[in-house]
Structure 1
Amino acid sequence: MQALELASTIRHDGHGGVADDLATVAAAQQWRPDVPWDEDLRQELVTLRRAVRALFARAVSPGPPSPADATRLMPVDEALSVVNNAAALDPVAPQLSWSDTPSASLRSVRADARARLLAGYARSTIEFLSGPDMAKLTACTAPRCVRYFVKTHGRQEFCKPSCSNRARAARFYDRRHADSGR
């Protein structure tokens, strides 16, 4: 899911802070070495990520959004515009192939890598938010985690086991200090 991949470029850094895989051109190059990065593309992708995370926050409501976004969400109408405009950057045409049986796919009409990258993430967002997995989207509730994830079972609260462990440790710490304060 490219939409979750893009949203997850903001993540917990393991030391109580937030890491941004798109903070600089060099960081973006490390995240996706197959892309010819420059500052303009990085900025465009950061704007698209802000839009995706704003739409994810709307999708998980009335649950809380990721704490990384809670105080600075892009307005929904602006986020929709950003995603839809990015999706339109790269026109595609259906293509038929035939080995044993016929199959259809969409193929880019242009060879512009920048447009394909932005449009690909935008289209993934549109498909995800209009598909069945959108109902399973949630923000991780672990302390300091800023990720969104798709629940694989109904009682799942955390995006990964380390977040579950961090939450359990925080509850233990809170109970321990509440008992010692009496």
Structure 2
Amino acid sequence: MPDSPLVLDLALTIRHDGHGGVADDLTDPDGLTVWVRQRLPELGEFTADAGTLAAVRDLRAAVRALFAKAVRPAEPSPADARRLLPESEAVARLNAAAARVPVVPVFDWTGEPASLLRPVAAATPADVLVAELARAAIAFLAGPDRGRLRACHAPRCVRYFLKEHPRQEWCKPSCGNRARVARHHERHRKESL
């Protein structure tokens, strides 16, 4: 599977815990620090604090609410179904997060020509992180891949994924197996009644 967009990686920090519940990879600053260092090495030795964790978790809640809207008319992830932010609040959070670090496009031609975004003024690493995640979310939600976004509805799964081929129904083969086993058990349960 190709690399997933950064914003999808953020949404997937909420996942099935393997025991019938939901796990959150961002429960403390250390979890966020590990996540950022793995996915955004350009931020260097980034270390999260409680304020950064709260800002990223708030942004993630907005992203997951907007993912739920993007997959309509299908159902959202079961992890979100009962606690989605109102759409207007999710959009406002996303836009406010992106505005934490105003940027300007800069042309660079030291190797291959490239367009880069540079902060207008000095910014903290936390603000850079939150703004970069928000801009990634905006680019994804306003881009062509949004139409491929799906919520996996296999038993116990809470993931969103990008549909890679027309027959894909689940985020991973293991989810497809769980869904088939669940349907099999349900069919036999109804036959035995």
TM-score by length of 2: 0.87
- Deviation at 1:170? 1.1
User: Which range moves more in the overlay, 149-158 or 26-35?
Assistant: 26-35
For 1:101 and 1:60, the matched residues in 2 are separated by 37
Tell whether 2:12 aligns with 1:8: yes
For 2:115 and 2:35, the matched residues in 1 are separated by 31
For 1:41 and 1:116, the matched residues in 2 are separated by 10
- For the residue of structure 2 that corresponds to 1:81, the secondary structure is helix
- Deviation at 1:111? 4.2
Quick one: which of 16, 29, 34 aligns to 2:33? 29
Quick one: which of 26, 48, 58 aligns to 2:69? 58
TM-score by length of 1: 0.92
Tell whether 2:145 aligns with 1:141: no
Q: How many residues align?
A: 181
Amino acid at match of 2:160: Y
User: Which range moves more in the overlay, 91-100 or 63-72?
Assistant: 91-100
Amino acid at match of 1:2: L
Amino acid at match of 1:91: P
User: Which residue number corresponds to residue 103 of structure 1?
Assistant: 114
- Deviation at 1:104? 2.0
Quick one: which of 156, 159, 175 aligns to 1:163? 175
Percentage of identical aligned residues: 51
User: Which residue number corresponds to residue 96 of structure 2?
Assistant: 85
Classify 1:29/1:105 alpha carbon distance in 2 versus 1 (closer, same or farther; 3 Å).
closer
Amino acid at match of 2:75: P
Q: Unaligned stretches of 5+ in structure 2?
A: 38-44
- For the residue of structure 2 that corresponds to 1:32, the secondary structure is helix
